[in-house]
Structure 1
Amino acid sequence: MEFKVSGVEVVLMKGDITEVEADAIVNAANSYLEHGGGVAGAIVRKGGAVIQEESREWVRRHGPVPVGGVAVTSAGRLRAKYVIHAVGPRCGVEPIEKLGEAVRNALRKAEELGLLSIAFPAISTGIFGCPYDAAALQMAQAIKEAAPQLRSVRRIMVVLYGEEAFQKFVEVFKKTIG
């Protein structure tokens, strides 16, 4: 499913984000950048230990990443130049709006790096417990809001693991930016 927002191509697809080719792959991270399970674990397994090592070094130098914030590492063996680690909220603990903030910050970082393409997972929907529709709304609104300011980023992919997530995201994105 494809949309155009202020000249930026937004693509929703089913699949494994670790297989996607993009200048940056966004990781759904925790504040300490310890990538054990879910998307984060898969990214390190596929991309290699260098991603976890660089993440630990980032936290040693800068401290934990705040909710809504981002950190950048290399992408190891992934088909990307960078991994942008975005810390989404734990639903019911932190405000869901922090998810939109994480998306905007990841897009800002991609712009700073002069990247053309970026791939997002469904941030905060795994162990952080956000329902797909709530996460999709935050992500769609953040993309719609950020798109007019994007100069280098021309393609935003949202890669969804599973049919249920894909259908919910398509439904919400159609209403919000379609």
Structure 2
Amino acid sequence: MLTIILGDITKEPVDAIVNAANTSLLGGGGVDGAIHRAAGPELLAECRTLHGCETGQAKITKGYRLPAKYVIHRPGPIWRGGIMGEEQLLQSCYENCLRLAVENGCRSVAFPSISTGVYRFPLETASEIAVRTILEFLKTHPDMEVRMVCFDRETLGYYEDALKEQTEIVNEED
């Protein structure tokens, strides 16, 4: 099941939250900084042992002081006009996070809007890729609960529109 909500991802009581990390995994601004602050210094200490992460890939740590058992760290692509494979990289971010969650026994995952902040990925395109990828994954993992946690109403609107569009496509195919 995919749910789209307005909220603070650091407060989500799920098995895993996804961190919009940079490739160093050593903290930063936005969602990354908020997750590191909420989890405490133990998260940074564990992240130092991971030696970074390539864009599109994902690594997992404990959640420490977060209500989530795990944090899945994944650097999203920086938008460069769509000519550097950014859309495929973003899709792989969602796929790799979901796969890693399943491998670690997670039944609930909360995502932020990946790459739509300082990485400037167009929100409309990013929301369509995210919703389509998550719904495709849920076809083979129907017991998984996925939450898209939007930090503002504009982001929420784009994700709600993307979900509505995907639902209409599925209904037309039936």
Q: State whether TM-score is above 0.5.
A: yes
- SS at structure 1 position matched to 2:105: coil
Contact 2:78/2:120 (8 A) holds in 1? yes
Task: Summarize the alignment of residues 149-160 of structure 1 with structure 2, pairs less than 5 Å apart.
Answer: 149-150=140-141, 154-160=144-150
CA distances 1:68-109 after superposition (whole Å, capped 9, x unpaired): 100111111000110000121001174222111010100001
Partner of 2:172: none
Aligned mates of 1:138, 1:29 — CA distance in 2: 19
Partner of 1:4: none
Partner of 2:104: 113
Correspondence 1:79 to 2:70: no
- SS at structure 2 position matched to 1:124: coil
Correspondence 1:163 to 2:153: yes
Q: How much has 1:173 moved relative to structure 2?
A: 1.5
Count of aligned pairs:
165
Task: Summarize the alignment of residues 137-148 of structure 1 with structure 2, pairs less than 5 Å apart.
Answer: 137-148=128-139
- Mark the runs of 5 or more structure 2 residues left unpaired by the alignment: 169-174
So what's the TM-score if we normalise by structure 1? 0.88
Aligned mates of 2:66, 2:121 — CA distance in 1: 27
Contact 2:58/2:74 (8 A) holds in 1? yes
Partner of 1:44: 36
Q: Aligned letter for 2:17? A: I
Q: Quick one: which of 5, 20, 32 aligns to 2:24? A: 32
Correspondence 1:89 to 2:81: no
Contact 2:21/2:28 (8 A) holds in 1? no
So what's the TM-score if we normalise by structure 2? 0.90
- SS at structure 1 position matched to 2:50: helix
- Mark the runs of 5 or more structure 1 residues left unpaired by the alignment: 1-8
- SS at structure 2 position matched to 1:96: helix
Bigger mean CA offset, 37-46 vs 135-144: 135-144
Partner of 1:3: none
Contact 1:140/1:177 (8 A) holds in 2? no
Runs of 4+ off more than 4 Å: none
Correspondence 1:18 to 2:6: no
